[in-house]
Every structure is written in structure tokens, then in C-alpha cells.
Amino acid sequence: MLTVSLLGASRVARGNEQIWLDLGPSGRRLAGFLFTFPDRPHRREKLIDLFWPNLEVARGRRALNSATWRLRKLLSSSPEYKDGDGLRTVGPETILERTPWLDVDTWALLEAAQAALGPAEEHIGGSGMRRLLSVFYRYEGPFLDGEDADWIIEERERLHSFFIQSSMTVVRHLGLCGQHHDAIRLARHALRFDPYREELVRYLLTLLALDERRIEAIKYYEYWIGLIRKELGISPLPATRATIEEIKNLHNAENAQHLRLRFVSRDERPRQPH
């Protein structure tokens, strides 16, 4: 099994050995592109234009051939590799195919988002929920962080949106099921990468209060409003101020039940990935 990480610090690992650097800078960008658009034929001329735009035609072809050879060598280092698997060149086109021995974090994220953002009755529980959570915790930062090509920026925003929206949906689901510890942990993880997502902040405040950590919720709110005032020059939305006031006045079961209703009342559904 080869584990490919494109979210945050990009790497390809075989067991404990990291082999991503073997590809070189342009080769890593090429690999990121092929992993992002698997099972699709890509014309070699297009790949040369994308990753070696300043080379004349013959040198560009040699650079692409070298990078393709290095990527194929990397893939073939998997014990499960069979000749012809993974990366194929068919005439003027190059195709990277999905295979069972390739574990790519972006593929896993899109599958998890599809499950999380599906119809309410399809919510996954038990071992399925554990798989979802394990995928969300693989999110370590922006897609191909440090790169600025247009296609990378577009894909980065798309993947980030699905990560946040699906994490929020799962946080809410866990909160409704009374699994406060898992919900709080996931909310904190998602807020590391989108600290100004106010709806998620309200979820976290509510969960902390329902988990009998009211003082912690109030302290987090004070930290957070200091952050947005300093960084953005704004104040919290009325809904967030109302949430913290409820938490400050949380002294009985009736107040707690009213807080729980904040999870139930949300019926907005984000679109599914494709």
C-alpha cells in the first residue's frame, strides 16, 4: 500500500519510508495533477504546457518522460504493484488509474464528504463513523500547500469547502447523538483550518456547554472574539452572541434542552461532491 498525502505537507509513504522527494519539484506537481484527476486521459502536450512551459518541445518531452518514469518507479515500489497497473501511457495520452493499493487522502476525503453530505437517513454510524473521522483527521492543511497554479487554487478551495461542510455535518450529527467528546474533537480540528467559521464556533460552544464545560465555552468565546476583532475588525453575529448568553445563563435542564434544539433546527444541506 502506498499512502499519498496531498492535504498539507505533501508526501508519498511506503510504510514508514517517505519517497515523495524522489520526484523532483515539477514531477511532484505532475503527480499531484494526475492523482487529482485519476482515470482520465491527459494529452502529453497539455502536461508539458502545464509543468514545463518554458522548455522547447524536445526538452519538454524529455522532462515529461523522465518525470513519468520516476512516478512509475515510485508506484512500482508498492508490494501490490503489478506491471501495467497505476500509470499508463496510451499513444499521446497519460492515465493514472485508481488501484486498491493506492490510498490517496483527497480521494478518501471526497468519498467521506459524499457519505456525510448525503440524505439524512444515510448517516453512517458505528464503524462507518469511525472511518469518516479517521479521514477528516488526515486533513493537515491546504491542498498542495505552497503551490499557486490556477487549477491547484481551484481544487484547494473545493476540497477545503467539502472538508469544512462535511465536518460540520458530522459534528452536528455526533452532537445530536450525545457523542460530545468526538464532536468537540472534530470541531476543534476543523477550526484549526477555518477559525472564522462562525457556525462551527457556535457548535463548539454549544457542545462544550452540553458536556458540562460551560466555563471552557465562555473562555473559548472570549479568545475567539479577541481573534476576530484583531484579525478581521468585526464583532460576532447576533446568533453567536445569543448562544453565549444562553450558555452563561445555563443553570437548569430546560436551558440545556433549548441549547440542544440549536442542533435540531438546522436543515440547510450543502451540495454533495462530484
Which domain-ending residue is among 54, 71, 100?
100
CA distance 273 to 51: 27
In this structure, are 242 and 193 located in the same domain? yes
pLDDT of residue 92: 93
User: Which is higher by pLDDT, 251 or 80?
Assistant: 80
20 lies in some domain = yes
- CATH number for 193: 1.25.40.10
In this structure, are 116 and 243 located in the same domain? yes
In this structure, are 93 and 134 located in the same domain? no
In this structure, are 74 and 189 located in the same domain? no
In this structure, are 139 and 186 located in the same domain? yes
User: Which is higher by pLDDT, 172 or 21?
Assistant: 172
pLDDT of residue 268: 44
In this structure, are 73 and 127 located in the same domain? no
- Walk across the sheet containing 11-14 and list its strands: 17-18, 11-14, 2-5, 102-104
pLDDT interval class at 265 (50, 70, 90): low
Smallest Cα–Cα separation from 202: which of 179, 225, 227, 229?
225
CA distance 93 to 89: 6
Which domain-ending residue is among 41, 66, 100?
100
Q: What is the pLDDT of residues 14-67, one digit of tens each?
A: 766 667 767 888 888 999 999 999 999 999 999 999 999 999 999 999 999 999
In this structure, are 164 and 188 located in the same domain? yes
Smallest Cα–Cα separation from 66: which of 91, 100, 35, 31?
31
**Can you say whether the dihedral through the CA atoms of 198, 200, 206, 212 is positive or negative?**
negative
* 5: enclosing H helix or E strand: strand 2-5
14 lies in some domain = yes
pLDDT interval class at 127 (50, 70, 90): confident
The count of domains in the chain is: 2
pLDDT of residue 121: 42
269 lies in some domain = no
pLDDT of residue 269: 44
User: Which is higher by pLDDT, 207 or 121?
Assistant: 207
Residue with cell 517517505: 18
pLDDT of residue 23: 82
For 259, the grid coordinates are 441549547
CA distance 39 to 87: 10
Residue with cell 508498492: 78
Residue with cell 493537515: 140
Q: What is the mean pLDDT of the chain?
A: 89
Q: What is the pTM of this model?
A: 0.89
- CATH number for 28: 1.10.10.10
In this structure, are 233 and 108 located in the same domain? yes
In this structure, are 185 and 223 located in the same domain? yes
Q: Is residue 96 helix, strand or coil?
A: strand
- For residues 96-118, average pLDDT: 94
For residue 86, pLDDT beyond 80: yes
pLDDT of residue 271: 46
In this structure, are 46 and 130 located in the same domain? no
Q: What is the pLDDT of residues 208-236, one digit of tens each?
A: 999 999 999 999 999 999 999 999 999 99
pLDDT of residue 96: 96
114 with 132: CB under 8 angstroms?
Answer: no
186 lies in some domain = yes
271 lies in some domain = no
Kindly report the backbone phi and psi dihedral angles of residue 126, in degrees, each rounded to the nearest multiple of 5, phi listed first. 60, -130
274 lies in some domain = no
- Residue-number span of the structural domain to which 115 is assigned: 104-264
Q: What is the pLDDT of residues 151-171, one digit of tens each?
A: 999 999 999 999 999 999 999
In this structure, are 200 and 86 located in the same domain? no
For residue 122, pLDDT beyond 90: no
CA distance 175 to 152: 34
In this structure, are 198 and 243 located in the same domain? yes
CA distance 151 to 158: 11
Q: Which amino acid is at 261?
A: L
Which domain-ending residue is among 49, 71, 100?
100
160 lies in some domain = yes
Q: What is the pLDDT of residues 132-152, one digit of tens each?
A: 999 999 999 999 999 999 999
pLDDT of residue 272: 55
pLDDT interval class at 181 (50, 70, 90): very high
pLDDT interval class at 187 (50, 70, 90): very high
54 lies in some domain = yes
